[in-house]
Structure 1
Amino acid sequence: MRLGQLLWLLFFTLILASCKSDEVDQSEGRSKPNIILIMTDDQGWGDLGINGNSDLSTPNIDRLTREGARFERFFVSPVCSPTRAELLTGRYAVRGGVYSTSAGGERLDLDETTIAEVFKEAGYRTAAYGKWHNGMQPPYHPNARGFDDFYGFCSGHWGDYFSPMLERNNEIVEGEGFLVDDLTEKGLSFIEANKDQPFFLYLPYNTPHSPMQVPDEWWSKFEDKKLDSLYQNPEMQDMAFTRAAYAMCENIDWNVGRLMTKLEELGMLENTIVLYLSDNGPNGWRWNGGMRGRKGSTDEGGVRSPLAIQWKGQIEAGTAIPQIASTPDLLPTLADLAGIPLETNKALDGKSLKPLLLKEEREWPERLLVSHWGNQTSVRSQDFRLDHEDRLYHIPSDPGQQVDVSEDYVAIKEKLLAKKKEWIASVLVELPENDTRTFTIGHPDFANTQIPARDGQAHGTIQRSNRWPNDSFFTNWTSTEDKITWEVEVLQAGKYEVEIYYTCAEENMAPIMRLSLGNASLSGPVDLPHNPPLEGMEYDRVPRGESYVKDFRPFTLGTIDLEKGVGTLSLEATQIPGNQAIDFRLMTLRRLEK
């Protein structure tokens, strides 16, 4: 063969190799596993049949654990928003500024990298359908934290589960039917639309958080049911509340089954990782495996959650993992399973659980996990828990934390005490004493900003409809000296159209409302009566502790020119012709020009 022919042959060989390499790369791109992450709200570890509760049936969730991996000792935070922040970032919640469940304390700091941003950067389509609870106004909004599509609510809880007011990508919309069913429908559509490309689907369901609303078809089974699996102190248990919670859990299980059926129909089970967990312990005293504590507690029962992870063909069916793990582990684990390089701007507190899931290592280092909420901090080793009062318990033999074994395990107690002291000094210290963050208006990439009653401060006679700010409204506005204020920062100057969601009886027509910020102000009358009754009680299976709701409707107050900067946004009633001004639920400010 001549030299020229040899060079041409070599050239074509390299071209073919390059094309084959491209095909491999493209194939590998298509083979990235999809992720479906399901998180329930206030469902305890004991609210599943697989964990020994004989009073309810959860076959679809149970099947996830049987056909995948089951973590026997998985821990979350004692309440909603911190767990969600840890899931999003792989870091302890207080590092990201999350210290409360409302009024701004639920917001995740803007310098944190989220799991959605990680997967979106890797080419995934991302969506979140349900309860967000880590900030509402952009750039705290889920659409600004890596999620391409969002449907649900950003507050800590919601007052109506049947076709309620929700939002889709920061626009107010009306829900379609029972909320968990509706969220699942959105998830099914997302799966169908993205079946040919990798996706990350986050489904933070809103149940069994109160109010205890569930359709008749689920409630009928439990309304008069005798319960056999009881809390260790049965006199503390609210049986009606428990029955409603179980009905909601069976509805969740049905929706999990719908998701798994869709994956099976599309032939996607082998290329989809499905996770299931809850955000904290049960929201009532009910059977929970004899553990001490419930939602809000750093004891075992307040922070232990189910965790099932299924990945057909990769994770061996029936895998039981006894090693302790916690919410911050999920981000590094999923990135590792998906083969995504994990580059965040801050060090993670979690670690990848892939070696346990795929049985790649026999040795696993000892870990100490910290649970914190309010003034409670506890530490968990593989077998022991140091509670917030520094008592030591051997959990395998004493899940109810009845016997303090400090004197029997002095060295272990000293180790856990040292961890607690170190955590408080190095992690908790990152949380500022005072929250100086403002509520943002007019993010350059988002025309619409929602300013709810939840985030406002009432002055004068104005009262909140409930002591829990989430989903509340302001009422009893009887004086022109009264006002509602928000500490805000306008991120981009411009002309903003203002809509106020209100109610006002005809006999109180027409109060003059005035909105002001700095040198800008806007006034106008509320001249259309709208006085719907309180709603929600007709759907509640047991009396609620949260606010009832109304059918609040918007009216356009007008437009206001806002300058960039920080200030106090104030809403006043300068004239009150009747007994009171409006009931206030929400205000939206839409930028009309850039």
Structure 2
Amino acid sequence: MTDDQGYGDLACHGNPTIKTSNLDKLYAQSVRLTNFHVAPTCSPTRAGLMTGRYCNRTGVWHTIMGRSILRKDEVTMGDVFSAGGYRTGIFGKWHLGDNYPFRPQDRGFGEVLIHLGGGVGQGPDYWGNDYFDDTYFHNGEPEKFTGYYTNVWFNGAMKFIEANKDRPFFCYIPTNAAHGPYYVAAEYMKPYVDKGLPESLARFYGMITNIDDNVARLMRRLKDLDLEENTILIYMTDNGSSGNGYNAGMRGKKGSEYDGGHRVPCFIRWPAGYLKGGRDIDRLTAHVDLLPTLIELCGLKKPDGVKFDGESIVRLLTDNDGSWPDHTLVTDSQRIEHPEKWRKSAVMTDRWRLINGKELYDMKADPAQKKDVADANSQVVERLRKAYEDWWADVSARFDEYSEIVIGSDKQNPTRLMSHDWHGPDVPWDQRAVRNGMEANGFWAVEIERDGTYQFELRRWPEEADAPINAAIPGGKAISATKARLKVANVDETKPIPMDARAITFEVRLKAGKTRLQTWFMDDEGTSRGAYYVYSKRL
């Protein structure tokens, strides 16, 4: 699964400029779901894919603010395959929680090679990563790698596949490319610059062409290992395009409630299972259908007590005889702390799209969604509004809950918290905000696992940056904080910040339970900001 690559960012979908010859080859060998939908942004799609359930009911409706953390009682695709005897691995972007019990290694994945947060170089990620020769997290520990980040993910995946070629395996490769910033080697960018494309789009397309080269390497490795025939290979993307290029005639891009925000490619190839030959299926399907489908295709046990929102589409994949019933799907783009009814929503059937509860589009007659026909089809509007009302009543039942990060567990002690996961109106989610000393604050929702003494180190910079709280590192801004404050449970303490201090440490007694943790760096002029990084440890 690639990042921010839209339906139109493929040559096989009519893009006249981009070079994707290997994905085009996979397209020709696959069953293609041409009316396949995801969420309009990143973490929500990942939550739906991993659980087979609408992201909103899993606690994930944003990419930051603690709302990208998948609730701990959800069962993931990793859990299902692991329980079925498969070796499981993830290589790339998780973005469903960086701390216990939300990490991929806590959710059924036995081999884990990932960056942190929502992108390489974001706040939770290893400081200074820039896609080339970076430090990533291998089974929970930082490890230095050589080369371009997409190549690193595919190298790790192919090593995992080769190690498990004689047993069942599930390999998940969610690349961070082609998410911005658009860093790529000149050899991939130059052909597009030479064609006259703006540099930003040339870089974006270059990142996709690099993915294409890696897909070729993966397909060759599967063939060389004699795994090509009996391996189910699925290619998809996580939302609409973030580029400014060809959009296959659709309205909207990443983040949009219109089809350009959430209709994406999905190719499925399994020669031994007769899923091959370049065949299109134009019925409405979605990412939430993939887990139930894989459970059926692989003969896995459905997890007890789980009610999927998606359904197995095996009959559609294998027969496609026209008898598949019409059904209704909902997607939306909240991207706020607390969801709002009807916000950036689409209620979908094979024929219709109801947008924001008001606009109606006939997709058979108007796939570009240019003509609102709500007034002429009031009964359709009423029916789809009712479907949304029922959906909202169902998925909103736990909107007031938090996904608390556990502090003091033997599974992760110490625990590093980052402001990416603050609950609050302004969240410093990337390293640029940290460098600039963004004046903002919020709280972490946490759970103290057991009674005991806990240590909290408040830092502006992460440990690996090794800089004083008030210092300006290259590209950054100095601050002048004089006091540090910690508030957690019934503890509220303040300490002075000595000159050149890298961290301010508090030791406090806490009782087990769910609570909030908040920090402040304050100066003598009344300016305040939270500590972007807090290292907590049960002593």
**Structure 1 residues 90, 568: CA separation in 2 closer, same or farther (over 3 Å shift)?**
closer
CA shift, 1:68, in A, is 1.7
Distance 2:313 2:383 in 1: 24
Aligned residue for 2:159, secondary structure, equals helix
1:306 maps to 2:265: yes
2:287 to 323, 327, 348: 327
Matched AA of 1:87: L
Q: What is the DSSP-based 3-state SS (H/G/I as helix, E as strand, rest coil) of the residue aligned with 1:587?
A: strand
Secondary structure of the residue aligned to 2:356 is coil
Q: 2-side partners of 1:297 and 1:184: how far apart?
A: 30
Output the amino acid matched with 1:323: R
**What displacement does 1:195 show?**
1.2
Shift of 1:98: 1.3
The corresponding residue for 1:379 is 347
What does residue 158 of structure 1 align with? 120
Structure 1 residue 584, shift from structure 2 partner: 5.7
CA offsets, 1:460-498, max 9 Å, x none?
Answer: xxxx8xx6624555467799xx98753422113456676
What is the SS of the residue equivalent to 2:361? strand
Offset, 1:392: 1.9
Report if aligned partners of 1:78, 1:372 keep a CA contact under 8 Å in 2.
Answer: yes
CA distance in 2, matches of 1:522, 1:166: 35
Q: What's the secondary structure of 2:43's corresponding residue? A: helix
User: Which amino acid counterpart does residue 36 of structure 2 have in structure 1?
Assistant: F
Q: How does 1:414-493 map to 2 (within 5 A)?
A: 414-427=382-395, 429-432=396-399, 434-456=400-422, 469-471=429-431, 473-474=433-434, 486-493=444-451
1:172 pairs with 2:142: yes
Change (3 A) 1:470 1:100: farther
Residue 223 (structure 1) shift: 2.4
Cα-to-partner distance string for 1:409-466 (whole Å, 9 max, x where unaligned): 4544443233223323333x3242x44443321234333422012224799xxxx8xx
Larger radius of gyration: 1
Q: Structure 1: how far apart are the matches of 2:366 and 2:46?
A: 29
Match of residue 233 from structure 1: none
Identity over aligned pairs, percent = 34
Structure 2 Cα separation of the partners of residues 371 and 568 of structure 1 = 31
**After superposition, where does 1:168-247 map in structure 2 within 5 Å?**
168-227=138-197, 239-247=198-206
1:147 aligned residue: 109
CA distance, structure 2, for counterparts of residue 284 and residue 348 of structure 1: 33
Counterpart position of 1:126: 88
Work out the CA distance in 1 between the residues paired with 2:332 and 2:530: 37
Question: Are the aligned partners of 1:512 and 1:574 in contact in 2 as well (CA < 8 Å)?
Answer: yes
The SS at the match of 1:223 is helix
- Counterpart Cα distance in 2 of 1:263 and 1:104: 38
Structure 1: state its 5+ residue gaps.
Answer: 1-38, 228-238, 530-553
TM superposition shift of 1:177: 2.5
Q: 1:247 to 1:477 in 2, by over 3 A?
A: closer
- Counterpart of 2:513 in structure 1 is 565
| Matched-pair contact (CA < 8 Å) for 1:171–1:448 | no
Which residue of 2 is the match for residue 588 of structure 1?
535
Query: For 2:116 and 2:384, how far apart are their aligned partners in 1?
Result: 36
Shift of 1:134: 1.3
Q: Quote the Cα distance in structure 2 between the aligned partners of 1:55 and 1:253.
A: 14
CA pair 492-185 structure 1, distance change in 2 beyond 3 A: farther
Verify the 8 A CA contact 1:515 1:571 in the aligned structure 2.
yes
TM value normalised by structure 1 = 0.77
Confirm or deny: 8 A CA contact 1:522 1:557 kept in the other structure.
no
1:566/1:381 CA distance change after superposition, 3 Å = closer
Go from structure 1 to structure 2 and tell me whether the alpha carbon gap of 1:472 and 1:441 turns closer, same or farther (over 3 Å shift). Answer: farther
Question: Helix, strand or coil: the match of 2:209?
Answer: helix
Aligned to 2:297: 337
Compared with structure 1, are the counterparts of its residues 295 and 582 closer, same or farther at alpha carbon in structure 2 (3 Å cutoff)?
A: closer
The aligned counterpart of 1:105 is 67
Q: Structure 2: which 5+ residue stretches go unaligned?
A: 122-129, 335-342, 473-477
Task: Quickly say closer, same or farther: Cα 1:41–1:476, change in 2 above 3 A.
Answer: closer
Does residue 253 (structure 1) correspond to residue 212 (structure 2)? The answer is yes
CA distance in structure 1 between the aligned counterparts of 2:445 and 2:258, rounded to whole angstroms: 36
Instruction: For 2:533, give the aligned amino acid.
Output: L
Which whole-Å deviations, capped at 9, do the CAs of 1:224-246 have from their partners, x for residues lacking one?
A: 3235xxxxxxxxxxx33222211
Instruction: Give the letter aligned to residue 95 of structure 2.
Output: H
Query: Counterpart of 1:503 in structure 2: which amino acid?
Result: A
Count of residue pairs the alignment pairs up: 508
Alignment of 1:90 onto 2:52: yes
Aligned partner of 1:503 in structure 2 is 467
Q: Distance in 2 between matches of 1:563 and 1:178?
A: 45
2:428/2:532 contact within 8 Å kept? no
Who is 2:253 aligned against? 294
CA-CA distance at 1:41 after TM superposition: 0.9
1:256 shift after superposition: 1.1
Matched position secondary structure for 1:65: helix
- Provide, for residues 200-255 of structure 1, a one-character-per-residue CA deviation record: whole Å limited to 9, x for no partner: 1111111111111111221121223235xxxxxxxxxxx33222211111011111
Given that residues 520 and 560 in structure 1 are in contact (C-alpha distance below 8 angstroms), is that contact kept between their aligned partners in structure 2? no
| Alpha carbons 1:453, 1:473 under 8 Å: kept | no
Q: Rate the CA distance shift 1:366–1:492 in 2: closer, same or farther, 3 A.
A: same
Give the match for residue 275 of structure 1.
Answer: 234
Q: Could you say what secondary structure the match of 2:114 adopts?
A: strand
The aligned amino acid for 2:20 is: T
- Contact 1:444–1:492 (Cα < 8 Å) also in 2: no
- Please name the residue that 1:36 is paired with: none
Equivalent AA in structure 2 for residue 377 of structure 1: S
1:450 counterpart SS class: strand
